[in-house]
Structure 1
Amino acid sequence: MTVVNVSRFLDEKAQTQSEVAALMVPRGRDSHGKIDYLRLSFRELAAEQNEWARRLRAKGIGKGSRVLLMVKPGLPLIAICFALFKIGAVPVVIDPGMGLKSFLNCVRRSQPEFLVGISLAVWVSRVFRKSFRSVRAKVKVGGPLDRVASGFAEEAAADTQRDDLAAVLFTSGSTGAPKGVCYEHGMFEAQVEAIRRQYQIEPGEVDLPMLPIFALFNPALGMTTVVPEINPSKPATVDPQKIVQAIQQCGVTNSFGSPALWAKIGVYCDSHDIELPSLKRILMAGAPVPPTLMKRFKRILTNGHVHSPYGATEVLPVSSVVDDEVLEIAAERSARGEGTCVGRILEGVEARILPLKDEAMEVGDLQRALPAGEIGEIVVTGPSVTKAYDQLPEATRLSKIVDGERVWHRIGDLGYIDADGRLWFCGRKVERVETVDGVFYTDRCEGVVNVHEKIFRSALIRYETDGQVVPALVLEPFAGMYPKSSDEEQALLREVRSLAAACEVTADIRHFFLHKGFPVDVRHNAKIHRLTLAKEFAGR
């Protein structure tokens, strides 16, 4: 059988782009205020990978070993990840910002045999010994600038196959408990090819990934990775000036980040009249991208576009939409309550809309696909679709449909495909509000009121009054625009009610509330915790 190992991408670039910068890690400022970077070529990064592979093998880590990876973004994270791929071990990556209780639950369930992490991670494993009971050896790692290789030496890759487990990546848990997603080597290869093809990424480009996991695609794409000055566990605290400086100084051509991050950066660019001509593309994902945000970046990106890829940890990418299509066609339809356009299905991916069902689906359900325009559950299949959750057979049964050799994934989202073949997102299945008068969908209702100039975002919630379940909308005004008096509050609510009453989708919503700051997910700081909001407003 043919060996398929993700580490080959870095080995290949060490030959074809040996002296091109692979990684740039900030280490302070020089006397002129410029960012001082540690710069490694692809050959030097491959040397780091190979040295780590030798060290990890010496610790007893080998093919199939589960390794909990707790390392800060920077040099060791990328080098160690590719080293683990090379030796056939399985990195287990858990979001550090999900909260200690959830984090420890994930550790216990994933049963790692080894821990590779910074000093704090080793300390946590000692304090919470029971959760780390499965760990039999620990490897301490230094900071983001830590180098281990003094020269280049070859290291053989394990003979992994396409369907061998490559990594366990945990979901953010924004609408439920976090789950470990099992990625195979072949799935990673399919993702790389899909991203390269869809966005026409070329070797030699420069990427600023504001979600650390996305930096792992860059060696495969031949892109330089510029590590951003950002706290990955608290991305909303990003200093936009630092991100803009990195883009300008390094000639960044590509960047990935959530709408919440780009909203802050966009405001900064507007207030300082900044353009970013080097950027060819911004990929915004993690939550629906407001058309107003895309419009703001039309001025800032003089030579590029905003793209919004759609998918999930379990399958990415599924579809993609570009700013021009949103602003020219989709924005007006979103304001009419038609949902959020997430673009056309990518080549090699197949999507269907099935009738809503809370129980497990069988292969026969695939034959009941709904016609264009009808809202149902989005299911997809393709080479990057994962097959299982780690150690969670019941969750796997509920989320997957086995169709011979193909596996379909139930994303947990509701939507429809329009007559022109575009996929529209209407909201998460668990966040729909079912009433005696019908079903209300989050993205359809929120799109109607989000066009108000003072509303940053809104959230449809399930609300109980007089013993009945009804829909309600919670409104978060832009920073600095929150009403300063009761009269101003009532005036704003009247304006929003008027907007809602004028649209058929929201005409029956009678309850509106104001909120100063929504609870959001830790990974993107963009996905609204609507179920948490519903509990907060219960009984009001």
Structure 2
Amino acid sequence: MRAHEAFWPSRLPASLTPAATSLWMNLWVSAARFPDKNALVFMGRAWTYREVVQAAEKIASQLAQCGVQRGDRVVLDMQNCPQLVITHFAILRLDAVVVPVNPMNRAEELKHYITDPDTKVAVTTADLASELVQASEALPADQRLAHLVVTAFTDVFDPAQVSPQDLPEAWKAWLLTPRDLPALSSGQVHAWKDWLDSPQAAALPATQATSNDLAILPYTSGTTGLPKGCMHTHSTIMHNAMATAVWGNGTAENVTLCVVPMFHITGMVSVMHASIFMGASLVIMPRWDRDVAGHLISRWKVTHWTNIPTMVIDLLGSPHMDKYDLSSLVYIGGGGAAMPEAVAQRLLDQFGLRYTEGYGLTETAAPSHSNPPDHPKKQCLGIPFMSVDARVVNPDTLEELPQGESGEIVICGPQVFKGYWKRPDATAAAFFERDGKSFFRSGDMGRVDEEGYFFMTDRLKRMINASGFKVWPAEVEALMFRHPAIQEACIIATRDAYRGESVKAVVVLRGSHKGQVSEQDIIDWCRENMAVYKIPRVVTFAEALPKSGSGKVMWRALQEAEMAALDTEAKSE
């Protein structure tokens, strides 16, 4: 018996058998059970499950007329909106494969998402369409898109009926500006709205997809080279959709705030697919805005909110917090970064909410670890998720390490992907056999405490070596969050002629403390609150930290900028 089993929720089995049906059937079943129940809420308009399944059938019928067949890959490139959910399930209705793409990608990056999965059809929003056209046109004729489907955000809501609380001024130009359909020199462009307004969908054959068929092909950003497609089947996604639902005491009465992006594995699986499986309601935000979030939680009596910790920090910092009613929330949690202890304590003291942190990767269909809601630990990845065998191993020998030692986190479970698309070498390098099981190498460093809970120490290669002392940036960042003036912090390495490397902190100050705290004040505070080798020797202030589309701090971008600046400085001397 492993130590964490003592804290396993008594109401749950240790493992779960994923349904053998396709993911499409989750929507179909929920629509059959709850036809008049709200499935999606966006800009004040509610879509029932009956409306969503009918819309998905219509879009699927039109995609079929464009030649989409079982196993074909279809790019889906948009921010959160009902069109994303409807089209996602329309693709699955045809037993085809969803290729979710980060809408922040530009044309040069998008070329890879057309050529690598051999995509001929893409669906996007009008604000992004020109980037996909530019990407397609730059490719050889035989690799270009044959069909581009374009939707305007206003295809699904009437701007005249939207309240200012749902549609802030900063979003209006983005969401409301009319845009003409672009043109493809060697393909066709279609209006999504015309497809939605078409007569009743033509009869489609029954779904034939098995649990082992490819369903989703999300791409990992990776540390080097081009992004790699992660092959997820109906079964790998189904497991975590089902497990997420039961882990968080989910029912059809859940009202979930959906603001983490659904192109990202967490938003897609732990929010969208889990909610659709349960027959729950999704309140959709197209991007983060703290006051819109506060309004939506209050208005729609949101019960469940999966997020990035930075969102919670931002919401709690709103000057309008006293206007928002968070009393309906029964679950709040997330991952991507550690929740600062001070913020977690405020959630508990002020709202009675325990922030439930989890951990997972694109390769593991979101959670491979999660804190038990009944017994969470702060700044902790949690215990191995349902059906998961997770261990910490020596990254060189792959031998399991004793409790407390830092090593690479490796994962075995039914939610683990089936390999990298067209990358057999990368797939082989990502897995190893042990005790008759296949383990995926996460590339993340962690340790296990005496109760079997996992803690992140950092990425395998994200470590600062200062005179032989190993500094784990995530640990320093967590400590710095305790400073009352610090809103966000990112730790990177800087060169040091004596120590080899030193610690540098890039800090975002809270608005209330700007101009009142100096870089030296931060260093002095660190000297009082952490071991001497962890103290940042350099602190710089920034207005904001760069973040990925999923809300994670892009520490590597800051690290590369630091090294480039040092190289330039050295050359000028």
Q: TM-score, normalised by structure 2?
A: 0.79
Match of 1:97 in 2: 104
Q: How far does the alpha carbon of each residue in 1:478-531 deviate from its partner, in whole angstroms, 9 at most, with x for none? A: 22266638x94323322222323xx3xx53646232221454332233324145
- 1:478-489 aligned within 5 A: 478-480=509-511, 484=515, 488-489=518-519
Match of 2:359 in 1: 310
| 1:284 corresponds to 2:314 | no
Deviation at 1:289, TM superposition (A): 1.4
Cα distance in structure 2, aligned partners of 1:298 and 1:509: 30
Match of 1:336 in 2: none
- 1:397-436 aligned within 5 A: 397-402=428-433, 406-436=437-467
Match of 1:244 in 2: 294
Deviation at 1:62, TM superposition (A): 0.6
Deviation at 1:378, TM superposition (A): 0.4
Match of 1:370 in 2: 401
Deviation at 1:76, TM superposition (A): 2.1
Match of 1:202 among 236, 239, 251: 251
Cα distance in structure 2, aligned partners of 1:514 and 1:324: 40
| 1:220 corresponds to 2:277 | yes
Cα distance in structure 1, aligned partners of 2:328 and 2:95: 38
| 1:491 corresponds to 2:508 | no
| 1:138 corresponds to 2:153 | no
Q: How far does the alpha carbon of each residue in 1:375-397 deviate from its partner, in whole angstroms, 9 at most, with x for none? A: 00001110101121223333323
User: Does the 8 Å contact 2:420/2:427 carry over to 1?
Assistant: yes
Deviation at 1:407, TM superposition (A): 3.5
Q: Is the alpha carbon distance of 1:101 and 1:59 closer, same or farther for their aligned partners in structure 2, counting shifts above 3 Å?
A: closer
Match of 1:8 among 22, 25, 38: 25
Match of 1:389 among 420, 436, 450: 420
Q: How far does the alpha carbon of each residue in 1:164-183 deviate from its partner, in whole angstroms, 9 at most, with x for none? A: 11111123557875332211
Cα distance in structure 2, aligned partners of 1:164 and 1:174: 28
Match of 1:345 among 380, 384, 387: 384
| 1:267 corresponds to 2:324 | no
Match of 2:482 in 1: 451
Match of 1:522 among 548, 556, 560: 548
Deviation at 1:161, TM superposition (A): 1.7
Q: Is the alpha carbon distance of 1:98 and 1:397 closer, same or farther for their aligned partners in structure 2, counting shifts above 3 Å?
A: farther
Deviates more, 1:210-219 or 1:149-158: 149-158
Q: Is the alpha carbon distance of 1:528 and 1:66 closer, same or farther for their aligned partners in structure 2, counting shifts above 3 Å?
A: closer
Q: How far does the alpha carbon of each residue in 1:253-299 deviate from its partner, in whole angstroms, 9 at most, with x for none? A: 11222112221112227742644111111222222211222222225
1:255 is paired with a residue whose SS is strand
Q: How far does the alpha carbon of each residue in 1:131-154 deviate from its partner, in whole angstroms, 9 at most, with x for none? A: 485245214232341544666886
Match of 1:297 among 336, 347, 361: 347
Query: Which consecutive unaligned segments of at least 5 residues does structure 2 have?
Result: 1-18, 157-192
User: Does the 8 Å contact 2:548/2:554 carry over to 1?
Assistant: no
Cα distance in structure 2, aligned partners of 1:239 and 1:510: 32
Deviation at 1:353, TM superposition (A): 0.5
Cα distance in structure 1, aligned partners of 2:518 and 2:71: 61
User: Does the 8 Å contact 1:76/1:143 carry over to 2?
Assistant: no
2:404 is paired with a residue whose SS is coil
Q: Is the alpha carbon distance of 1:286 and 1:280 closer, same or farther for their aligned partners in structure 2, counting shifts above 3 Å?
A: same
Q: How far does the alpha carbon of each residue in 1:235-256 deviate from its partner, in whole angstroms, 9 at most, with x for none? A: xxx3322111111111111122
Deviates more, 1:114-123 or 1:196-205: 114-123
Deviation at 1:163, TM superposition (A): 1.7
Match of 1:512 among 533, 538, 559: 538
Query: Which consecutive unaligned segments of at least 5 residues does structure 1 have?
Result: 27-35, 232-237, 332-339, 358-364
Deviation at 1:210, TM superposition (A): 0.8
Cα distance in structure 1, aligned partners of 2:72 and 2:524: 60
Q: Is the alpha carbon distance of 1:204 and 1:117 closer, same or farther for their aligned partners in structure 2, counting shifts above 3 Å?
A: same
User: Does the 8 Å contact 1:52/1:148 carry over to 2?
Assistant: no
Deviation at 1:95, TM superposition (A): 0.5
Match of 1:32 in 2: none
Cα distance in structure 1, aligned partners of 2:316 and 2:475: 25
Q: Is the alpha carbon distance of 1:454 and 1:534 closer, same or farther for their aligned partners in structure 2, counting shifts above 3 Å?
A: farther
User: Does the 8 Å contact 2:332/2:355 carry over to 1?
Assistant: yes
| 1:188 corresponds to 2:227 | no
Match of 2:70 in 1: 63
Match of 2:308 among 258, 265, 279: 258
Match of 1:334 in 2: none
Q: Is the alpha carbon distance of 1:103 and 1:259 closer, same or farther for their aligned partners in structure 2, counting shifts above 3 Å?
A: farther
Which runs of 4 or more aligned residues in structure 1 lie more than 6 Å from their structure 2 counterparts after TM superposition? none
Cα distance in structure 2, aligned partners of 1:120 and 1:295: 40
Q: Is the alpha carbon distance of 1:375 and 1:21 closer, same or farther for their aligned partners in structure 2, counting shifts above 3 Å?
A: same
1:97 is paired with a residue whose SS is coil
User: Does the 8 Å contact 2:75/2:100 carry over to 1?
Assistant: yes
Cα distance in structure 1, aligned partners of 2:469 and 2:521: 29
The total of aligned residue pairs comes to: 497
Match of 2:558 in 1: 532
Q: Is the alpha carbon distance of 1:176 and 1:212 closer, same or farther for their aligned partners in structure 2, counting shifts above 3 Å?
A: same
Q: Is the alpha carbon distance of 1:157 and 1:191 closer, same or farther for their aligned partners in structure 2, counting shifts above 3 Å?
A: farther
User: Does the 8 Å contact 2:78/2:103 carry over to 1?
Assistant: no
Cα distance in structure 1, aligned partners of 2:502 and 2:412: 33
Cα distance in structure 2, aligned partners of 1:176 and 1:457: 29
User: Does the 8 Å contact 2:114/2:144 carry over to 1?
Assistant: no
User: Does the 8 Å contact 2:357/2:380 carry over to 1?
Assistant: no
Q: Is the alpha carbon distance of 1:527 and 1:52 closer, same or farther for their aligned partners in structure 2, counting shifts above 3 Å?
A: same
Match of 2:124 in 1: 117
Q: Is the alpha carbon distance of 1:190 and 1:354 closer, same or farther for their aligned partners in structure 2, counting shifts above 3 Å?
A: same
Cα distance in structure 2, aligned partners of 1:161 and 1:9: 14
User: Does the 8 Å contact 2:126/2:152 carry over to 1?
Assistant: no
Q: Percent identical across equivalent pairs?
A: 21
User: Does the 8 Å contact 1:175/1:529 carry over to 2?
Assistant: no
1:105 is paired with a residue whose SS is helix
